[in-house]
Amino acid sequence: MKKTIQRFFETLRPRFEKGGRFQRWYAFYESIETIFFAPGVPTTATPHVRDSLDVKRYMASVVVVLLPLLVFGMYNTGYQSQLASGKTPELLLSFWIGFKAVIPLVIVSYLFGFGWEIVFARIRGHEISEGVFVTAMLFPLTLPPTTPLWQAAMGISFGVVIGKEIFGGTGRNFLNPALAGRAFLYFAYPVQMSGDAVWTVLSGARQTAVDAFSSATPLVVAFEAKTAGAVEEALAEVGYPFWKLFFGLYPDSIGASSTFLCLVGALVLMAIGVASYRIIVGDILGVVLTGAVLNLIATEGSIPYMTMNPLYHLIIGGTAFGIAFMTTDPVSAPDLHPARWIYGFLIGALTVLIRVFNPAFPEGIMLAILFMNVFAPLLDHVVLKFRLRRRIANV
């Protein structure tokens, strides 16, 4: 079997190489061949690490980990949709409704993301990089399920072209492309990206959800909680107890609701060495410690949100998703270990601060990550300077 495939590619390769008939499609050919075989050409530019893990396999592992989130996201979308129509959710029907709502977004995201990658690979002569597979998978998972398809296309195009390709493709950008596209949509089309109504797909001819259904996301409920010290109760009252929030059956972005699956994904990625545990632990520490400090300094007259149990910050909204899959993006994160700790911690801290104190954004993690992406090179630089200073000169 292996021999046959190998022979197949070996006969095809000369036609795509320089001088061959299809040489302009080499990038496309190369991307197919490396699915089956690790690339035969070693990296020539320094610095690089000798490893059997190439970019394609590195990125594919992230996509694999994201698949359960996509499936659960589909189920959750359908589940919420049925609740909103006043029906008792059925398992298969939920999947079907969610499938119809989510899969077009994923397809559009891949079509446009991959399309731009091919256009740039073709014109600029670089290889089709697998980074776009991850970007195009992450991007729809961060969207509300009601996003119009053309907006999804706009967002992924912005993310891939402005966020990445104009810097020369995967590995050369400084912002996370998926988040850049998401933030672009957030500021360009706030009506479709925020508010209470966008998180639930309404099925059939229904224009509004039934009265018994609360479409407010936990983030909004927590922000608007009235009594200090009882934010958790306020959440439970509208139907968001701790375990429900943890497992993710509540209206939110398609893939970001389930803390449980994000945790599993993060553990897998850390175990196989793709995600940096320093960033993830730093993130969690940042969220929990900042939440705890807010608990301590909260007084009678302060915002009730400040008194929320810090652990809740990890399970509501997109924190878990962002921590597991966005902050660990190796390109936009800093490279040195101490810098990674600081980077993670500041993302966590900023997320909580923005959630509590910035009424403009219910969710802070998206922009907190982008903000720290901007400062990641500076963190690296400062850590490096500090290290060089400790070194004994010319002994």
Partner 1 sequence: MENLISIFVNSVFVGNILLAYFLGMCSYLAVSQNLKTSAGLGVAVIFVLAITTPANWAVYHFLLAPGALSWAGLPEMDLSFLKFILFIAVIAGMVQVVEMVIDRYSQTLYNSLGVFLPLITVNCAILGTSLFMVERRYSFAESVVFGIGSGTGWALAILAMATVMQKLRYADVPEGLQGFGIRMITTGLMAMAFMLFSGITL
Rounded to a whole number of angstroms, the minimum distance from the CB of residue 45 to partner 1 is 9
The token pair that represents 198 in the structure block? 């966008």
Among 350, 352, 355, 363, binds partner 1 (CB under 8 A): 350
Pick the closer one to partner 1 by CB: 173 or 200: 173
Residue in 157, 336, 141, 335 with CA at minimum distance from that of residue 253: 141
- From residue 263, alpha-carbon distances to 299, 349, 372 in Å are 33, 19, 22
Rounded to a whole number of angstroms, the minimum distance from the CB of residue 187 to partner 1 is 7
- From residue 58, alpha-carbon distances to 54, 107, 267 in Å are 6, 22, 15
Phi, psi dihedrals of residue 320, rounded to the nearest 5°: -60, -45
Taking phi over 0 as left and psi of -120 to 50 as alpha, with beta for the rest, 229 belongs to left
The token pair that represents 156 in the structure block? 């992924």
Q: How many CB atoms lie within 10 A of CB 392?
A: 5
**Does residue 43 interact with partner 1 by CB under 8 A?**
no
**Does residue 216 interact with partner 1 by CB under 8 A?**
no
Rounded to a whole number of angstroms, the minimum distance from the CB of residue 180 to partner 1 is 7
**Does residue 243 interact with partner 1 by CB under 8 A?**
no
Strands (E) located in the chain: none
d(CA 138, CA 382): 31
Rounded to a whole number of angstroms, the minimum distance from the CB of residue 82 to partner 1 is 35
Among 162, 197, 202, 285, binds partner 1 (CB under 8 A): 162
**Does residue 329 interact with partner 1 by CB under 8 A?**
no
Rounded to a whole number of angstroms, the minimum distance from the CB of residue 346 to partner 1 is 12
Phi, psi dihedrals of residue 10, rounded to the nearest 5°: -65, -35
Rounded to a whole number of angstroms, the minimum distance from the CB of residue 379 to partner 1 is 9
Residue in 225, 195, 250 with CA at minimum distance from that of residue 307: 225
Pick the closer one to partner 1 by CB: 87 or 126: 126
What are the percentages of helix, strand and coil residues in the chain, rounded to 5?
65, 0, 35
Positions in 103-142 near partner 1 (CB under 8 A): 124, 126
Rounded to a whole number of angstroms, the minimum distance from the CB of residue 174 to partner 1 is 5
Pick the closer one to partner 1 by CB: 103 or 166: 166
Stretch that binds partner 1, among 51-59, 137-145, 175-183, 283-291 (CB under 8 A): 175-183
Pick the closer one to partner 1 by CB: 175 or 284: 175
Crossing angle for the helix pair 91-124 and 149-157, to the nearest 10 degrees: 40
Among 145, 163, 255, 282, binds partner 1 (CB under 8 A): 163
**Does residue 250 interact with partner 1 by CB under 8 A?**
no
Residues 180-209: x/- map of binding to partner 1 (CB under 8 A)? x--xx--x----------------------
**Does residue 358 interact with partner 1 by CB under 8 A?**
yes
**Does residue 361 interact with partner 1 by CB under 8 A?**
yes
Residues 6+ apart with CB under 8 A from 47: none
Rounded to a whole number of angstroms, the minimum distance from the CB of residue 3 to partner 1 is 37
d(CA 122, CA 270): 34
DSSP state of 208: S
Pick the closer one to partner 1 by CB: 213 or 375: 375
Stretch that binds partner 1, among 166-174, 253-261, 266-274, 310-318 (CB under 8 A): 166-174
The helix/strand/coil state of 395 is coil
- Binding site residues, partner 1, CB under 8 A: 124, 126, 162-163, 166-169, 172-175, 180, 183-184, 187, 350, 354, 357-361, 364, 367-368, 370-371, 373-375, 377-378, 380-381
